[in-house]
Structure 1
Amino acid sequence: MIEPQVTIVVVPRERFSFTHESLESIYEYTDFPFKLVYVDGASPPHIQSYLETQSQLRNFQLIRTDYYLSPNRARNIALSYVSSKYVVFIDNDVVVAQGWLKQMVECAEETGATVVTPLTGEGQPVHERVHCAGGEARIIVQGEGSQAKRYLHAKLLYRGRRLKDVQSKLKRQPTELAEFHCIMVRTAIFEQIGLLDEELMNTKEHVDFCMSVIRAGGSVYLEPSAIVTYVPGSLLDWSDYHFYMLRWSDAWGISTLQHLQKKWNLTEDELGVGYLVWRRKIAIIKPLMLNLPFGQKSKLLQKILVFVDIIFNRFITSYYALNQLRHKKDSTSIRLYQHKAST
């Protein structure tokens, strides 16, 4: 039996409630041989049960931790079980279109690309609005000598445009940016650049990765005939809220940005903590206000809830730090459910 060229690695992004739809789309619309490794970072019991059942039925490798995982940590755990020529990293809230994987492999084989990004959509209905069609990722230097300032420049191309309006303009071509919603990577690159940087816990890890690949002499290509869609949505379970608040926490964000600045010798970062508060405001605070019988448009109430969010966010991250430290000392904290993962 010939081993597949590709291992698909699914990791948690920011919620668990879209797990079923995402996994089913992979098996329904993928017509190219693959192995699958699924990393389950402390999903709630009903999701855990679903994944355990599916790993047996579909014969994929399931790795479970009893604590939440940052994205790069989850990807690195999975890389220990990847021996194929290519690895696809895909988030657990992504739906794929027919033929997506075959098109990405053909791009890599024909161009020698180190990284291939599909045309990534956003929202529902799926595959109708663009989230990312490649982009720009580089360091910009302003000034000279001791006055020089280094900034990180990252830009998604065609974001928010209707797919049918831009698809004819897109072609397979080199690009600087690919997002971890879904990317295919030539596995050998990790021998050059090492594993993914786990100190980048919740933002710009894709920018860091693409710049590291290009700095090592690799290339990033857009393959617009391969289409996937990232589906943000409502936080349906308590576990979604807890995980989301940690995933976009101030503590993880501050640590990430400080590390990124040191790593690339940057002057500053324009997003900061305000960006993370904004994400929680959109996903948690505004939906909460809409469900209240009073004060839905009250700016004062919104300010109070933002303040409560910041305090509660600190509690969650402190609790997580202690819990993770306990699990790191426990050799059984990572459980492997399945050893064969081909389809």
Structure 2
Amino acid sequence: MNPLVTIVVVPRERFSYTHQSLTSIYQNTKFPFKLVYVDGNSPQPVKDYLEAQAKHKEFELIRTNYYLYPNQARNLGLAKVDTKYVVFADNDIVVQPGWLKALVDCAESDPKAAVVGPLMCQHEPIHEEIHCAGGESRIVVDVKGRRRMREKMYKQGHATKKWRSQMQRCETELCEFHCMLVKTSIFEELGYFDELMLNTKEHIDFCMDVMEAGYKVYFEPDSLVTYVPAVPLEWSDLHYYMLRWSDNWETKSLQRMREKWNLAEDSYFTQKHKALGWRRRDTILSPIVDKLTLGIDNRLLKKLVMFGLLAPVEKTLNHYLTSRHEQAHLQRRNNFPAQQMDVRELVRS
């Protein structure tokens, strides 16, 4: 049989969940598929594991010795896809049996369906708490004529058990890249993913591109997938996590989003800029604060340690790591004569 689907797995924000996630995909997916795994500079034990699994399960492994922007990683995988559909999956998801067939069935039900998202859950225990059940991503024009971003995820934080039985397949406007099925032919019209969207809002950008081209985004609740973040992180994940959620990458992504869609610099963006670094504070710094304050439940003390001591040091380190990565990235780009790096050329290299 020739599979209809290629699953492209890319790094999200850490590498330490690689084994659990890849095992889940193979154990819980009976629908035929190809797999392309993009490994962006994982630690040596993970690298060795992926090489062994690629040989054993006969999937294609793309390895770079540097960290990748999310859309950069997706483009590397996309260059290898020759099936009707492609599923972009982060490397920290767990899937429920039947997940892939449900996505394909939804896509096959409507010729205009270009993107299908599952009922996406979050955290452990898996499949119990909703992260995203479709949503809204559109531009609205206010009374002053300003173009403003409308973004909303449905049912986030609600119990899966309470709501799933009431959900039905439907058109939506938002699907996240934790797990997203896409009709491959759409890239012939839209081109590859925008690599100037470095780390955030790239799913909104893509979904709006799809809808603007006259195609549809669907939500399919019969497909159940969970992404599993971690607090605290393992030591080997810290460097990539800090880079992945750096202030620099997020600022540039928001700027690209605003300029590309001609959006007003309104409260949507000012709030995003004000909250820069919140993931790093919650995931990396908060566990350190708890240790330094000996578990004392004093909000003022913890705030003082966080913002008076740790946050300034972490921001300096974050700026250093980002600058070093950017210099290396520019050097790699300069090795190619074309202004825009061809991802297929990068794969071959």
Verify same fold: TM over 0.5.
Answer: yes
Question: For residue 53 of structure 1, what is the aligned residue in structure 2?
Answer: 52
Give the paired residue count. Answer: 332
1:186 aligned to which of 183, 192, 208: 183
CA offset at residue 294 of structure 1? Answer: 4.3
Is 1:158 aligned to 2:155, yes or no? yes
Kindly report which structure 2 residues correspond to 1:32-43, keeping only aligned pairs within 5 A, or say none: 32-43=31-42
Amino acid corresponding to residue 307 of structure 1 in structure 2: P
Deviations 1:170-218 (A, max 9, x none): 1001000000000100000011111111100111100010000000011
Matched-pair contact (CA < 8 Å) for 1:171–1:224 = yes
Q: Is 2:231 the counterpart of 1:226?
A: no
Contact 1:66 1:334 in 2 (8 A): no
Q: State the alpha-carbon separation in 1 of the partners of residues 231 and 293 from structure 2.
A: 20
Q: CA deviation at 1:141?
A: 1.1
Q: Secondary structure at the match of 2:276?
A: helix
Q: Which amino acid aligns with 1:28?
A: Q
The answer on whether the counterparts of 1:132 and 1:156 sit within 8 Å (CA) in structure 2 is yes
Structure 2 partner of 1:319: 324
2:304 to 296, 300, 303: 300
CA distance, structure 2, for counterparts of residue 89 and residue 118 of structure 1: 12
Counterpart of 1:4 in structure 2 is 3
1:309 CA displacement:
1.6
**Structure 2: 5+ residue stretches without partners:** 337-344
Q: Distance in 2 between matches of 1:216 and 1:57?
A: 40
- 1:272 and 1:197 map into 2 onto residues whose CA distance is 20
Secondary structure in 2 matching 1:197: coil
Alpha-carbon distance in 2 for matches of 1:263, 1:195: 15
Aligned match for 1:171, one of 168, 172, 178: 168
Cα pair distance change 1:293/1:301, threshold 3 Å: closer
CA contact (8 A) 1:11 1:39 kept: yes
User: Measured at CA, do residues 58 and 279 of structure 1 come closer, stay the same or move farther in structure 2, by a change above 3 Å?
Assistant: same
* Aligned counterparts of 1:185 and 1:159: Cα–Cα separation in 2: 23
CA contact (8 A) 1:235 1:241 kept: no
Relative to structure 1, the CA distance from residue 41 to residue 153 in structure 2 (aligned partners, 3 Å threshold; closer, same or farther) is same
1:113-163 per-position Cα deviation (integer Å, ceiling 9, x unaligned): 1111000000101001100000001001112xxx42111111100110000
Q: Find the counterpart in structure 1 of residue 246 from structure 2.
A: 249
How many Å separate the matches in 2 of 1:7 and 1:305? 43
**Is this contact kept in 2: 1:65–1:335, CA < 8 A?**
no
Contact 1:17–1:235 (8 Å) recurs in 2:
no
2:209 corresponds to 1:212: yes
The answer to whether the 8 A contact 1:63-1:336 is kept is: no
Read off the aligned partner of 1:316 and give its amino acid letter: L
DSSP 3-state at the match of 2:131: strand
With the length of structure 2 as denominator, give the TM-score of the two structures: 0.91
Does residue 93 (structure 1) correspond to residue 92 (structure 2)? The answer is yes
In structure 2, relative to structure 1, the CA distance for the partners of 1:209 and 1:168 (3 Å cut) is same
Tell me, yes or no, if the aligned pair for 1:32 and 1:102 is still in contact at 8 Å.
Answer: yes
The alpha-carbon distance between structure 1 residues 173 and 198, as it changes in their structure 2 partners (threshold 3 A), is same
Partner of residue 340, structure 1: none
Secondary structure at the aligned position of 1:286 is classed as: helix
Contact kept? 1:15, 1:235, Cα under 8 Å: no
The residue matched to 1:111 in structure 2 has which SS? coil
Q: Percent identity?
A: 50
- DSSP-derived class of the 2:168 partner: coil
The AA in structure 2 aligned to 1:319 is R
Taking the aligned partners of 2:52 and 2:232, their CA distance within structure 1 comes to 24
Q: 2:284 aligns to what SS in structure 1?
A: helix
Which runs of structure 2 are paired with 1:194-209 in the superposition (5 Å)? 194-209=191-206
Write the deviation string for residues 22-62 of structure 1: whole angstroms up to 9, x where unpaired: 00000000010000000000000000000000000000000
| Partner Cα separation in structure 2 for residue 3 and residue 306 of structure 1 | 52
- How far apart in 2 are the matches of 1:15 and 1:328? 25
Greater mean alpha carbon deviation, residues 275-284 or residues 176-185: 275-284
CA distance in 2 between counterparts of 1:210 and 1:19 reads 27
SS in 2 for 1:57: helix
2:53, 2:4 → 1: CA distance? 22
TM-score with structure 1 length normalisation? 0.93
- Say yes or no: does 1:272 pair with 2:269: no
> What letter corresponds to residue 320 of structure 2 in structure 1?
F
User: Residues 84 and 183 of structure 2 are in contact (CA less than 8 Å); yes or no, is this contact kept in structure 1?
Assistant: yes
- Give the whole-Å Cα distance in 1 for the aligned partners of 2:57 and 2:318: 38
Stretches of 4+ moved more than 2 A in 1? 234-239, 270-276, 291-297, 323-331, 333-337
